Amino acid sequence: MHHFFVSPDQIHRDKIEIVGEDFHHIIDVLRIQNQEKFVICDGDGSDYLCKIGEQISSEKRLTAQILDVYPSESELPYRLVLYQGLAKGKKMDEIIQKGTELGVSDFIPFESQFCVVHLKEAKAIKKKVARWQKIAKSAAQQSKRGRIPQVHLPIFLSKLDKFHGKSLIAYENEKKRSLKEVVQQWEHPVDQINILIGPEGGFAEEEVSTLEKAGAESVSLGKRILRTETAGMALCAQLNYALE
Ligand code: SAM
């Protein structure tokens, strides 16, 4: 069944206003028929089962009649925040797309000591974040998420001094602690999990110890060195396996 996001202000008591590109998508691209059901999501955890109500083609607008409303069942039982070392080229696009499919709710890019990508002028960064946010919305639509993940403005890793919930640093030089051992020791349920993935150049030792002082635990993802765009996805998938 098709699945769209609308902003909450389009949702009224028993109907939803559809305009603009969503009107075009429903009528011209997907050619949804009058009695056909589809799901509209408010991006904040509720899904609305709908069918087409009134259609005013001249104004490219229609109302979707609400048949039922229920909590989005595709969200993880914990908030998953991915702190991602800024990576080169299109890697961030891939990380945001795949991370969205795996249930990430917030992407927080960061610059750290071994980053090859630097936070230069704010304008360029704002443009990148806007593009990444679009990728997150379309990946959320495709994967039928109940929420559109938020892509935050990048931060400097050195500024991170506290976390809410549990925090894991995927550290390539961690030789002792496995993810399994750490997660097994947690008291469940956990409401938020922060994961930190280094850039192509990895984490500096002092960065890891600073993050550990802020309460994060460093874990190994195995004996192989994963690319930065692989590591976050591997960690998300293993957490989903263990906790979802
Ligand atoms: N420059 C590092 C090196 O050559 O050892 C590799 C960094 S790796 C490309 C990028 C990030 O992926 C790391 O900082 C870490 O967060 C994560 N990562 C990759 N392999 C890992 C592993 N086996 N265990 C834990 N984290 C890993």
pLDDT tens-digit series, residues 6-55: 988 999 999 999 998 889 988 898 899 988 999 999 988 899 999 999 88
CATH topology classification for 79-243? Alpha/beta knot (3.40.1280)
Give the whole-angstrom CA distance, residue 107 versus residue 150: 6
Q: pLDDT tens digits for 153-171?
A: 999 999 999 999 999 999 9
| Pocket-forming residues, ligand 1, beta carbon under 6 Å | 170-172, 174, 197-198, 200-203, 220-222, 224-228, 231
What's the pLDDT score for residue 104? 98
Output the pLDDT for position 96.
98
Instruction: Mention the CATH class of domain 3-71.
Output: mainly beta
Give residue limits of the domains in the chain.
Answer: 3-71, 79-243
In sign, the C-alpha dihedral spanning 22, 24, 29, 34 is positive
Beta carbons of 16 and 50 less than 8 angstroms apart: yes
pLDDT value of position 22: 87
Distance 116 CA to ligand 1 centre (A): 15
189 preceded by a cis bond (ω within 30 of 0): yes
**What would the DSSP string read from start to end of 161-172?**
---SSEEEEE-T
d(CA 244, CA 236): 11
Q: Is 155 exposed, middle or buried (0-12, 13-18, 19+ CB in 10 A)?
A: middle
Sequence-distant (≥ 6) Cβ neighbours of residue 17 within 8 angstroms: 6, 10, 61, 63
Nearest CA residue ID for atom 27, ligand 1: 172
User: Residue 137's pLDDT is what?
Assistant: 93
Which amino acid, one-letter code, is at 54?
E
State in Å: Cα 82 to ligand 1 middle: 15
Counting residues of the chain whose pLDDT is more than 90, the rounded percentage is 78
